[in-house]
Amino acid sequence: MKQKPAYTEFQPRLYRPRISFYWWLERWHYLKFMLRELSSVFVAYFVVITLLQIRALAQGPEAYQAFQTLMAAPLIVILNVVSLLFVLFHTITWFNLTPSAMVVRIKGKRLPDVLIAGPNYVAWVVISALIAWIVIGG
């Protein structure tokens, strides 16, 4: 890295417009970005729920029953529905970004985005079905 150029007395200040605190409400695109970033809060929320679940499992049947009762509480159910919507938003935006993160060229031609994003969705369905099968059947 080069050294920063030194200011002289006659140098004009850089023009830096003030950005509104609510800049992310100005356009749908910005809002979408902010909602995507906020999806991580719901990811963390469900990890905490899972940690509580593991703790309840370790403590015994009564503790696990209490955990199940907690999961049926109206406030938790609402949180879970909202979390699911946010996490699905994360999943979809994440999969749709893969073509930008991973450019595959075959014989010099760029593979269409759908062929890179698509397999993620297929794998997602398969993995989800497998987990459901193991939890319910196993």
Measure the CA–CA gap between 40 and 47, rounded to whole angstroms. 11
Of 13-72, binders to another protein (CB under 8 A) are 19, 21, 24, 34, 37-41, 43-44, 46-51, 53-55, 57-58, 61, 64-65, 68, 71-72
CA-to-CA separations, 12 to 16, 17, 19, in angstroms, rounded: 12, 15, 20
Burial of 49 (0-12, 13-18, 19+ CB in 10 A): middle
Q: Count each helix (H run) and each strand (E run) in the chain, helices first.
A: 4, 2
Shortest reach from residue 104's CB to another protein, in Å: 17
Are 46 and 87 a contacting pair, CB within 8 Å? yes
Of residues 70 through 129, those in contact with another protein by CB under 8 A are 71-72, 76-77, 80-81, 83-84, 87-88, 90-91, 94-95, 120, 123-124, 127-128
- For the record, the structure tokens of 87 come out as 């996490």
Nearer to another protein, 44 or 103 (CB): 44
User: Exposure of 68 by Cβ count < 10 A (0-12 exposed, 13-18 middle, 19+ buried)?
Assistant: exposed
Q: How far is the CB of 28 from another protein (least distance, A)?
A: 16
Residue numbers of the site for another protein (CB under 8 A)? 19, 21, 24, 34, 37-41, 43-44, 46-51, 53-55, 57-58, 61, 64-65, 68, 71-72, 76-77, 80-81, 83-84, 87-88, 90-91, 94-95, 120, 123-124, 127-128, 131-132, 134-136, 138
